[in-house]
Structure 1
């Protein structure tokens, strides 16, 4: 079950790296559709800059999660993964409250599932 747990956590990490790619490099039309934002807003220079900045954070969060899996083990890794999954869940709740409700399902739910597996199946 530990391998499955780490696999689920890695999927959360890869999701954030993928989101980063979309936030930084996707065409404005695709970004508007995916992030439930008006196209005119997405095409705004300042909005593009803010979205790319957000992408950096998401990408580095994904890389950080993967690095933790590679460099730590045991209780240390468990504590780190609990903290990181809680962080993703909190951010998803905030995003659902302020941006679009689908964030809670697309980012929060996978992190919640991974958190449950970390808590109960990772030693």
Structure 2
């Protein structure tokens, strides 16, 4: 079960690196606008906010990666529990305030990773 937790936590970290890239570097580009369903004028007006949001996603990814390199079965476990919990909260909040899709893209993978980690 620990291997599943590691793989799932790594997937969640990679997703957040992807979110960072989309929000910080591609928000106003066709890829970012398509991913988030944005009109060009809104994307341009909100690019600073999106970059800030992307930075926070990067911090989530960094925390998860730190937990993974510290050994998920021992020293890294508390880091993973904390950061996966943060991702779950962010996913629930995003689902309630922006789109339910966020729960499935962000929250569910983190919940599965956390469950696997706690069962390991």
TM-score by length of 1: 0.85
TM-score by length of 2: 0.87
- Deviation track 1:14-53 (CA, whole Å, cap 9, x = no partner) reads 1100110010111523323322444321121xx1011011
Task: Confirm whether residue 83 of structure 1 aligns to residue 78 of structure 2.
Answer: no
In the other structure, the counterpart of 1:23 is: 23
Say which SS state the counterpart of residue 79 (structure 1) adopts: helix
Runs of 4+ aligned residues of structure 1 deviating over 3 Å after TM superposition are 36-39, 72-76
RMSD between aligned residues:
1.7
What stretches of structure 2 of length at least 5 have no aligned partner? Answer: none
Count matched residues.
Answer: 119
Q: CA deviation at 1:72?
A: 4.5
Q: CA deviation at 1:75?
A: 4.3
For residues 10 and 43 of structure 1, the distance between their equivalents in structure 2, rounded to whole angstroms, comes to 32
For residues 19 and 105 of structure 1, the distance between their equivalents in structure 2, rounded to whole angstroms, comes to 14
What stretches of structure 1 of length at least 5 have no aligned partner? Answer: none
For residues 88 and 73 of structure 1, the distance between their equivalents in structure 2, rounded to whole angstroms, comes to 17
Task: Confirm whether residue 5 of structure 1 aligns to residue 28 of structure 2.
Answer: no
Q: CA deviation at 1:86?
A: 1.2
Q: CA deviation at 1:89?
A: 0.6
Residues 17, 60 of structure 1: 8 Å contact kept: no
In the other structure, the counterpart of 1:40 is: 41
In the other structure, the counterpart of 1:102 is: 101
